[in-house]
Amino acid sequence: AIAAADFDLSPAKALGVGLSSLQLTKTQSSQVKMSLAALTFIASRGMATKMTVKNLAMIGSGQMGAGIAQVAAATGHKVVLCDTAGDILEKAKAGIQESLRRVVKKKFADDPDKGQEFIASTMANIDTTTEPAKAVVTADLVVEAIPENLQLKQELFNTLDKFAPANAIFATDTSSLSITAMASSTQRQDKFAGLHFFHPVAVMKLVEVIRTPETSDDVYECLMAFCRAVGKHPVTCKDTKGYLVNRLLVPYLFEAGRLYERGDGSKEDIDTAMKLGAGYPMGPFELADHVGLDTCKGIVDGWQEVEPDNPLFKPYPLLNKLVAEGKLGKKTGEGFYKY
């Protein structure tokens, strides 16, 4: 196969000499010109249809949405950040600025002026709106990071599908829900996939790129390229429960909770055991507080609906109690521990 776009396809360059200097009949010369014209057309079509992301619409400005907006804007992408109220968006922008200041302290320690320029240019790439329809009008990629509720996400994508450009890619940052089920609410199932970033987005390098059976190769390659462009390391997985990381991680967190509930060990000792014995940077209770107890509960509740008899997906009362009391972890100041 010839990558035609890699070549200068003007007739003289392609042949190395002018056609007139070759001893060709008129018929042969005509055939050569037609072949070159066809190659030029194929190359131009290929270059014109290659999918790239320059404009991102980020729906949801919580920890994940703001983080994705930050890394995209910091790498030169134009971002429209959307949420339900102006004060929520202002809080998100303030959080992004604070995060950028931490980045600058490390990255531009020897050049503070350049660091300030970096912050200013990044923030200049972020616009905000409370109207999802406006957010997606010029988007190449639409990413959703709203609460983990399948019906809510389906309704959102169904609405956005009517306003986004026909060639725009839709992606969800869900950590556990079915990508295929979300895609079914749109008319662009071939342009739909999962992009699961990890918290904190500015620090964590991994992104899970989740393909459905309908996700096209072009969309998949575009999303892999986008992840690399924002400084991340993408891995690929199928649309299965929990994908790769959470399918292994969340049952581990829940089993730690059951150990504690049975009185087999204190939460402090369980955390210490996993840090010193397994080399983990955080113990399971520290990590659950970091992730958010409501997020952990939402993931397993969704899995249990599909597989109610799977013992790995069985909830435990203490977690339900903490979530009901609004003790969701670090983000609320208290979870398994107080902060």
Give tens-digit pLDDT for 11-40.
Answer: 434 434 444 445 556 665 666 555 555 555
Report residue 50's pLDDT band, with 50, 70 and 90 as the boundaries.
confident
pLDDT of residue 88: 98
Global pTM reads: 0.79
| Higher-confidence position of 44 and 222 | 222
Over residues 281-312, the pLDDT tens digits come to 999 999 999 989 998 998 898 888 888 999 98
Q: Which of 144, 176, 178, 196 is catalytic?
A: 196
pLDDT of residue 241: 87
Q: Is 196 a catalytic residue?
A: yes
Over residues 234-274, the pLDDT tens digits come to 999 999 989 999 999 999 999 999 999 999 999 999 999 99
Round the average pLDDT of the chain to a whole number and report it.
89
Name the token pair of 50: 């290659």
Within 8 A by CB and 6+ apart from 117, the residues are none
Q: Cβ–Cβ contacts within 10 Å for residue 22, how many? A: 12
Q: Which of 55, 175, 176, 178 is catalytic?
A: 175
Q: Which of 176, 178, 185, 246 is catalytic?
A: 246
Over residues 137-146, the pLDDT tens digits come to 999 999 999 9
Residue at 285: amino acid letter: F
Residue spans of alpha helices (H) in the chain: 11-15, 26-49, 63-74, 86-107, 112-124, 132-135, 150-160, 179-183, 217-229, 245-261, 267-277, 284-291, 293-306, 317-324
Counting residues of the chain whose pLDDT is more than 90, the rounded percentage is: 78
Taking residues 78-92, what's their average pLDDT?
98
pLDDT of residue 42: 47
Helix (H, G, I), strand (E, B) or coil at 177: coil
Q: Is 208 a catalytic residue?
A: yes
Over residues 171-195, the pLDDT tens digits come to 999 988 899 999 999 999 999 999 9
Q: Which of 99, 144, 185, 208 is catalytic?
A: 208
Q: Is 175 a catalytic residue?
A: yes
